[in-house]
Amino acid sequence: MSADPRADPPIACSLDTGALADRVGEWRALVASSVVSVVVVPTAVYLVLDPSDASLLAAVALAQREKQCCPFFAVAVDIGADHRTLSLTVPDGAEEAMAAFVAALRS
């Protein structure tokens, strides 16, 4: 994050209640169809994707939309010889937001 706290995005989602419910459904569908394991730490979640190109594309598209409504998330994709992992991380102090996100994935 930047040295100027005014430049940091707020720890908040801009989706309204209906859109948030739809987005949670999208994340749950992605986890059910394309994720082989989930690793959680207090400020990050790592979604290990199945090896299909369709799963990678779906994960990246969904993560990009998530970044639009929750700009405090840092999103990255790690592509290795034997894995593809989508990671979403939050800054220190946003552990509660990450816990809520992970809980929504698992509900």
How far apart are alpha carbons 11 and 70 in whole angstroms? 7
- If DSSP codes are grouped into helix, strand and coil, which group holds residue 65? helix
Tokens of 40: 């959680």
> What pLDDT is recorded for position 8?
82
Average pLDDT over residues 30-35: 97
**Residue range 18-45: mean pLDDT, rounded:** 96
HSE-up of residue 89 (Cα within 13 Å, Cβ side): 9
State what percent of residues in the chain have pLDDT above 90. 87
12 half-sphere exposure, CB direction, 13 A CA radius: 6
pLDDT of residue 3: 54
Q: Count other C-beta atoms under 10 Å from residue 50's C-beta.
A: 13
CA 12 from chain centre, in angstroms, equals 14
The pLDDT of residue 1 is 46
39 residue type, one letter: V
pLDDT of 5 > 70? The answer is: no
Q: What is the pLDDT of residues 46-87, one digit of tens each?
A: 999 999 999 999 999 999 999 999 999 999 999 999 999 999
